[in-house]
Structure 1
Amino acid sequence: MKELLEKYIQDRCTPEELKKVLPYIDTPLGRKELEELLMADWEDFAPEKAEDGVAAEWQDRLTKQGGKKPGKLAMLRQSWIGYAAAVILVTSFGFYFLNREKRSKVEVQQVAMIEKFNPSGKRTILTLSDSSVVYLGAESRIRYPERFVGTKREISLEGEAFFEISHNPEKPFIVQTGKVQTQVLGTSFKIEAFKGQLLTVSVATGRVSVGRKENSTLTSLAMLTPGKMVSWNPSDNSTETSAIPIEEVRNLKNGTLAFTDARLDKIARDLGRWYNIKIVITNPKLTAYQLSITINGKASINGALDAITAATGLKYKISKDQIIIGQR
């Protein structure tokens, strides 16, 4: 322990060493050993090592003590003053490191949060600090830390995104979407969580756990494997699990819009969001049309509309800033 105490006196302790030495010098034996080492240093302390500023400060403190002139105590050699200042500095240094370490435990949780929002018609690709990749859809918002700390990787999402999560069995990746929590260790999956609509989670690779959080209780909704999707209805808390083509799960990454037995109103909403245009269906009964169709999202919207109307026997027209779909 003597070597560690010498390093402490010389201000050369690492934070880990300070964890050992500071509790030790709080013990009677530790204080005694420290004093012996300091006294040995004092005997070798040269008078010229005490800086004028330090000496003057101590003289001033001694003079002001009790509001009267100092006696013999004030006449101690400057070497003693330099030693006393050194003891105070060393002790303060130790406490500084201890407090700094305590602060660091708090500061490690104070990580900057980043928020990204895509307006209608825009999509972006984000790389997180753990090398996970997020393909964020239009009219979607994501909030995530600048770097992941602690025992989990947690973000929040409003809207839709496709995730390719780097594998880390010691730090699960969690996506919060309102009351629904999606947790993975390393996989690829898609979430759709638009306000007022069904929330869906679908999987391309790996395993995904989906649960509903109510207060502090998490209730499992589904454990998904590739090609599976869970839909949760927020209005009645109902859940349905179904199959889904894996290429449809990857549509945000591939730049396509793939639909399997999808209602026309769902297709219209997704197209409007993708191309930043309002699509109106004139007759509510037409919204129940179901289609299976794959659209090249990199082409113009006209090609998508031509394919839809050809399959349904409907027609469309472009009027100013909106598209109207109706019967022929």
Structure 2
Amino acid sequence: MKNPDINSIDDLLANELFRKWILEKDEAAAIFWSQWIEQNPARLEWVAAAKAIIETLTESDKQLTDLEINREADLIQQKLLSLNPAMYDDEEPGYLETYNNGKELGSKGILFLPRTRGTRHLVGIAASLLMIAGVYWYYNNKPRPLPINAYKAFMQETKHKSFEYKNNSDGEQHIVLSDGSEVVLEKNSRLTYAANFSSGKREVYLEGNAFFNITRNPERPFIVYTQTIVTKVLGTSFYVKAMSSDETASVVVKTGKVSVFKRENFTSTDAGSPTLKGMVVTPNQQVVYDITNEQMNKSLVEKPAIAPQTTYSFDFDDTPAIEVFNRLQAAYGVPILIDEEVLKTCTIAASLGNEPFYEKLRIICKIINATYEVIDGTVVINTRGCK
């Protein structure tokens, strides 16, 4: 096979055998270029840069038109020129041709590349190209919501025909929806839902604050949209605070499990799926969304409560510490992370009653010389164990 005349990166880009190696993974081409690199180790930076450009533009072709690909090639050229204009003063322009599976797409963008420069310049150029190609690839290939955002689809549907509850009174308004779900709407709050709620999706839009007690139906998830966040449940009770005048929005779970999303990230797939994704929140946990900084944080509520209609005994008589923490976790629904191997010799002797959750936790930890911290809505027990 004839040794190609390669004097620059754009010579690699124009070489059909090089494109065949990169795009088609051709075995013969791979062997040839492997040998060529061994014979020309100083040209490795060119190979890396050319490979990055070809892969970036051809992968992006799945989403971009030929004209857009050409425009992006021009942007790469402009970026390189802006890095060091003097470097290209006496260089000739080359053409960056885009291909898909070895077939020329016909769009070209001018790419200025030096033909005679020292190794230091070449390394810098290659690094710049790789950086630009990498950033460009990320922004064109990062996960995105589906073309039809679930929130937009819902708002479009309710625009034509919907029902609305608006609480202008000084007290709470109790609402029973057609699926049996209950909503306690606070004052100055509004609840909107599509006319097909009883036969189609269980979706509502909330402006303000409300407590929801949702009838369980895994086949038809219940979705609460607000201005900034979306809450999806299968059947549970929770509180949503989403006043438009507030700097934060929050979801507090009383029973069951919910998932919370940023509104712009919630897709039609998320809406129709029977599983819970997003940020999953369990009893006595809350999600607070900082609207200004666009950050969601999960934590424990200030006063965790025992699950409704359940009773637990907190009388411990030399009870293994592992069992004590498991009982506490079951009663409050709060995840408690322990090292069972370290705690296997520890026992608890204490009679606890109506103390708040954190007080119970403090007493138990003191008995076994442990400490605790709350991380992302989970209690983490720190101890060296018991002798």
Normalization by structure 2: what TM-score?
A: 0.33
The normalised TM-score by structure 1 is 0.39
Write 1 or 2 for the structure with the bigger share of strand.
1
